[in-house]
Each structure stands twice: as C-alpha cells, then as structure tokens.
A and B are shown apart, each in its own frame.
Chain A
Amino acid sequence: AQTVTQSQPEMSVQEAETVTLSCTYDTSESDYYLFWYKQPPSRQMILVIRQEAYKQQNATENRFSVNFQKAAKSFSLKISDSQLGDAAMYFCAYRRWGGGADGLTFGKGTHLIIQP
C-alpha cells in the first residue's frame, strides 16, 4: 500500500519570505500523480499544484513550485513571497496511475503559519 509522510506538523515563515514544505511517499509503482492541496480555516480543500511522475520538469503555479525527486520519492512544495492568505493546512497526496483505484492517499498535513 502507498503511504505519504509529511514530517513537519507545523511551519512558520515571515510574510514575503520563502518556505518549503516536505513530503515523502512510498510506492512500488513507476507511474503515478502527486498533488498539494491547501485547506484554509474554511476547511475547503483547494488544489495548489499537481505533478505527473513521468514528467521530469517540476510543476509551477505562480508563487508555488515543487521539487520532485523521483528516485528519492520526495515531493516538496516551495512557496515564494509568502502572503497572509497562504496560512492554511497543506496536504500532500498521491494517486496511482490507471483506473479502478483512483482514491487519493493523503499525508497528515503541515500547518503553515505566516508571521506578519
């Protein structure tokens, strides 16, 4: 079974600075998808970024980028120019390739605090 580990229960960063959230996963599959979701106090789950394992290029969405290290099974999220609205729980998630087993496997989350 796949597992996702987020080793940082809480991170704090000053507004406008850069922060990196860690995620590692365990799988025997060679093709899969990885995601970062954000859960603000409203509890709505919001997709931040996704990465296909077959793509070597790291995904980027505006101030959010990932460092995908397939051999190390590592998928970290970098947030540049942190803003107060970035404060939330961040969940790393994995999904295997192919149909029939499309449920996401989530880590336990990292609580990101933005200091003004």
Chain B
Amino acid sequence: NAGVMQNPRHLVRRRGQEARLRCSPMKGHSHVYWYRQLPEEGLKFMVYLQKENIIDESGMPKERFSAEFPKEGPSILRIQQVVRGDSAAYFCASSLAGGPDTQYFGPGTRLTVL
C-alpha cells in the first residue's frame, strides 16, 4: 500500500517564479491537507480539501497561494511570484474521511527560493 506521495522532493525557484507542488493521497483517501514548516518551527496548517472542494483555507496566505484537488489527479499547491520567505518544507497529508480519521503525511517538498 503506497503511502502519501509528494513531488518534487526538492524544488528550487528564483524570486518571481511559480512553484507547483504535487500530492497524491493514499489509495482510497479523498481528504487532503497541506501544511508548511518553516525552519525550527512546527507545521502550520494551510488548507483542507476534498475532491473538487476547498473545505477550510483559513491558514492560506491571502495572496499568491492557491490549492486544488481535482476529480482526477493529484492535489496541487501553487505559489505564484515566490519570495524568499516562501522557502520552507511543504507537507501534504491525507485521510480516509474527515473528522476523527488519522492524517498520514507525505515526505514533504523542500522549496528553496533564491
């Protein structure tokens, strides 16, 4: 049973470029969460999605960040016009359902903005 897959594992972008991070949930899971981890910090919740719906985006920055989870394919976290402060590890988690179901994490994507 494959776990949560994230790619790329490492991504380098120059300031002003776009970053696209992909997350494939565990088989059968239809709930996806994105978190950001800054150096020396814990993970911060960004957004919670189900297939084709954003359920909770209370942790997403208002500008430049967007997320989607289409009917087919992986979930995408998109960061437009990246800045150095966007450098962080971005983790995706998935669960079978919402509520009490455990969230299983992917290995993360480390974004470096030059």
Contact = CB atoms under 8 A, between A and B. Distances in A.
Contacts of A42: 107
Interface of B: 31, 33, 35, 40-46, 48, 55-56, 58-59, 89, 91, 93, 95, 98-100, 102-108, 110
B98 A104 contact: no
What does DSSP make chain B's interface, helix, strand, loop or mixed?
strand
Interface residues of A, number: 26
Nearest to B101: A102
A103 B58 contact: yes
A45 B95 CA distance: 14
18 contacts: A37-B105, A43-B89, A45-B105, A45-B108, A46-B105, A47-B103, A47-B104, A97-B100, A101-B58, A102-B33, A102-B99, A103-B33, A103-B35, A103-B45, A103-B58, A104-B103, A106-B35, A107-B42
Interface of A: 4, 33, 35, 37, 42-47, 50, 52, 91, 97-109
A106 B44 contact: yes
